[in-house]
Structure 1
Amino acid sequence: MAELRLEELSAKTVVAANALSLKPGQEQFIAPVSYSAAAAVADPSTSWQRVVLDGDDVVGFIMGDFNPYAEHDEFKAILWRINVDADDQGRGIGTFAVKALAAEARDRGVGRLYVIWESGELGPEQFFLRTGFQPVGETQYGETIGALDL
């Protein structure tokens, strides 16, 4: 594995990010990267989108959002999406991306980063727990709200 690095999502990388594959059963837990890119156009001042590169290959995508004026605390600093290519899962790429988002949050003076996930056998819960998020609540739809104290 070459050294991992982050790059802003761009016209150059969005196609590769959209082509990231999923393991069977994971598709119910994640929307395409293009949905995140479209959401960021609505308010690019708060969105933080990066691709993870291994050499020249896009192997992951992460999107966070920083909105100090959000009505609910969990939306002030949140990990909205993370996707690691199926063939590259288990290599530390997701952890690398979460650490980068956490570092960005700390640089912005944020003390707590949130994430919301849906429970399920093939869902992301174990990954989020391994990266340090702890359940702190539930959404009105029964999803778990996790927090990572920085």
Structure 2
Amino acid sequence: MTPRLETITPSTFETAVGIRVRPDQEHAVSPVVQSLAEAYVHPAGVAWPRLILEEDRAVGFLMAFLDIDWYGDGSVRRSGLWRLNIAAEEQGKGYGRFAVDSVAGEIRRRGGTQLYVTWHPGPDGPEEFYLRLGFHKNGETSGGQTVGVLEL
């Protein structure tokens, strides 16, 4: 496996928005097109959307948030994984781990020491995936989702 990240361009846009998670996961993660719209409306540099490719095949999408004002009052700045959409037929092949490792590397490169993520709670959510990767719940919620943090 030699996955890589690629910036989304006009020539890869349709491929990116065509990525679909399993039907039972659709309630827990926004579609790629919504993520790209959110990236567009936030200040430049806040969102870091990337296509995950294996050779020339799109296997997923990630979007990180970089150095955001977490509470909106200037008191806390955080970076982390905002969205992770692994194509339904590509799940269980290590692409999710690759995505988390890639975001961790980018945050480290920018001087960060923690990677935050939120996830949909419940038996059908990705909690076990994130906990296996070393995230721990920090006791917070955000928009009804569990907040986890990974020390880098």
Alignment counterpart, residue 83 of structure 2, candidates 81, 87, 96? 81
| Matched residue, 1:26 | 25
Is residue 139–residue 145 contact of structure 1 (8 Å, CA) maintained in 2? yes
SS in 1 for 2:82: strand
Distance, in Å, in 1 between the alignment partners of 2:142 and 2:4 is 36
- CA displacement at 1:141 relative to structure 2: 4.5
Distance, in Å, in 1 between the alignment partners of 2:134 and 2:9 is 29
| Matched residue, 1:62 | 62
SS in 1 for 2:112: coil
- CA displacement at 1:17 relative to structure 2: 1.8
| Matched residue, 1:97 | 99
Unaligned runs of 5+ in 1: none
| Matched residue, 1:44 | 44
TM-score (norm 2): 0.89
User: 1:75-117 CA distances to partner (integer Å, 9 max, x unpaired)?
Assistant: 6202110010010100000100110000000001001110111
The answer on 1:107 being equivalent to 2:109 is yes
Unaligned runs of 5+ in 2: none
Distance, in Å, in 2 between the alignment partners of 1:16 and 1:142 is 30
TM-score (norm 1): 0.90
Distance, in Å, in 2 between the alignment partners of 1:144 and 1:70 is 14
| RMSD of Structure 2 on Structure 1 (CA) | 1.7
Is residue 13–residue 58 contact of structure 1 (8 Å, CA) maintained in 2? no
**Cα 1:34–1:77 shift into 2, 3 Å:** same
The sequence identity of aligned pairs, in percent, is: 41
Is residue 80–residue 103 contact of structure 2 (8 Å, CA) maintained in 1? no
Between Structure 1 and Structure 2, the one with more strand by share is 2
Alignment counterpart, residue 118 of structure 1, candidates 105, 116, 120? 120
| Matched residue, 1:138 | 140
The answer on 1:53 being equivalent to 2:53 is yes
| Structure 1 segments of 4+ aligned residues over 6 angstroms from their partners | none
Is residue 48–residue 64 contact of structure 2 (8 Å, CA) maintained in 1? yes
